[in-house]
Structure 1
C-alpha cells in the first residue's frame, strides 16, 4: 500500500453506497462493510442481484437496502444519492465506485466503437459520476471516503484490452486527482488496483477469442477471492492509503513499469504472444 494519511478525526459508523453490489467485488464490499457494522445501500443495474445482496446482509442482522442504478447515466447516480439520503439513517460516509465490465480480444482499430462506448460508459463515466455527485457532499461534511475500483490494467496496458485499459487508467487518474483535491479535508480516496479476482466479469463481459481463453485459464490458476481483496482494501482505506495493490504481481508490475518502462512494454507484448500461442 502507498500514500498513507491518517484520519483527521473520529467518524460515525460507516454508511455506504456500493455500486455493482450484486456480485463479485461489489457484493464482497457490501457484505464486509455490513459485517464491520456499517449500513449499506446496494446498487446494481440488476435489481434481483442487488436485492439478493441486501437480503443476505439483513439475514445476518445488518442494515441494507437495494436500488437499481445505471452508473453510466449521471441522472441515475444523482437519484442514487437521493435514495441514499432517504434510505440510510446516517449521511453517506463511504462511496465504493465498483460497477465495471470487461472488454478484450481485439486490437485498437478493430475494437468496435460500441464496445469502446459501453466500456467507458460504465468503467470510467460511472466512476466520474460517482465522484462528481458524492465528493462535494463528503467534502462539506468533513469526513468519509471514496474507493474507486480500478485495476492493474490501469497501468499495465496489456495488449488487446484497449477499452478496458483506458477506462481503468482514467479511474486511477481521477482517484489521484481527487485525493490531492481533498487533502486536509478529512475525506480519504483509495484506488483499488488488483490483478485477477474471481468474479463474473469474464462471463458477463465482452472478452472474445483467444484472449478470453487465456483470461479464463489465468483466472482459474491465479485468481484470488474478492473477500480477501475487499478486507485488505477497507483496512488500507481506513489507514488513508491511496493505492491498494493486493497481490504481489500487481506490485511487481507497478514497480517494473516505472523503473524500466521501455523494457516493460516490449516484455508484456512478448508475454502476451507467448501466452496466446500456448493455448493452441
Structure 2
C-alpha cells in the first residue's frame, strides 16, 4: 500500500511545495490547511502530474479540527509514515516594550501548540506503521534572536525545544524526529502576512538579495530527509541562502 504523508500548512509556500515533492517520491499526500479552495487546486495539480493526494481542511489551533485530520488519515488505505509539521507564521516586527500580546499568543499557538496538537494526534499511527517520521519545519529564528523578532523567535525556540524533547522521549520506538531550520526563504505570503499585507515592507525583506531560498529548496530538503533509510535520523538541518551568513548578516547588492 502507498504510504501516507501528512503536510500541514499545505495551501501555499513551503507546505504546497512539499506536498508536490512528496507525491513524486511515492507518498499519498494528505494536504492540510485552513483554505479548502487552495487545497482542492493543489490536489488536482498533484493528480494531473501522476501523484495521489487528499485535501483536509484543518486549523492547527483547534483540537477538534486536528482530531478530524487524524480521523481522515486513519481512513486512508495506506499506513501513515510521515508527518510534516509545517504550519506556522509570524506577525509584526515590534520591539518587546510595545509588543502585542495577541500577536505573540497567535504565534505561539500556531507554531508551538499547533505542532503539539498535530504530533500528539498522529503519533499512534506513525508508531503503528513501524517506520514513522516526524519532521518539524522550524526556522533559524529558533537558533538566534534579532531586534523586533521577540515573539517569533520565542515561538520558534519553543518549537525547537519541543522537537528535541520529543526525540529524547521517543528513543527506542520506531519514529524518527527531524528538524528543518530554514533561513531567508522568499515565498508569496510569509513576509506579506507578517506585515499585515503591506507589500512594500514585505519586499524590503528581500531587497538586494540576489538569490534567497525558495519554497522548492526547502521541499527538496524535507524530501531528502524523509527518504533516507529509516535508521538514519537527520536531527537538525540548517539551510540558508549563500547570501545569508547569519540571522542578520546578509549580503545585499546595491
Which range, TM-score by smaller chain? 0.7 to 0.9
Aligned length: 246
Greater helix share, structure number: 1
Which aligned pairs between 1:1-280 and structure 2 lie closer than 5 A? 13-86=2-75, 88-199=76-187, 200-206=189-195, 212=202, 214-217=204-207, 221-237=210-226, 238=228, 239-247=232-240, 253=246
Encode CA deviations 1:110-135: one digit per residue, 9 max, x unaligned.
Answer: 11111111111111111111111112
- More strand by proportion, 1 or 2? 2
Shift of 1:168: 1.0
Where in structure 1 are there 5+ consecutive unaligned residues? 1-11, 255-267
In structure 2, C-alpha distance between the alignment counterparts of 1:59 and 1:213, rounded to whole Å = 33
Aligned partners of 1:211 and 1:32: how far apart in 2? Answer: 30
Shift, 1:67, TM fit: 1.5
Distance 2:225 2:79 in 1: 22
Please report the RMSD computed on the Cα atoms of aligned residues, expressed in angstroms: 2.6
- Distance between the aligned counterparts of 2:135 and 2:83, measured in 1? 6
User: What corresponds to 1:265 in structure 2?
Assistant: none
Q: Over residues 215-269 of structure 1, what are the superposed CA-to-partner deviations in whole Å (9 max), with x where a residue is unaligned?
A: 2426x54421221222122212424201011226699649xxxxxxxxxxxxx6x
TM-score w.r.t. length of structure 1: 0.79
C-alpha distance in 2 between matches for 1:128 and 1:38: 23
CA distance in 2, matches of 1:251, 1:13: 39
Hey, what's the Cα distance between the residues in 1 that align with 2:242 and 2:100?
A: 30
In structure 2, do the counterparts of structure 1 residues 177 and 249 end up closer, same or farther at CA, with 3 Å as the change threshold? farther
Question: 2:211·2:243 contact (CA, 8 Å) conserved in 1?
Answer: no
1:118-159 CA distance string (max 9 Å, x none):
111111111111111112332344311111110000011111
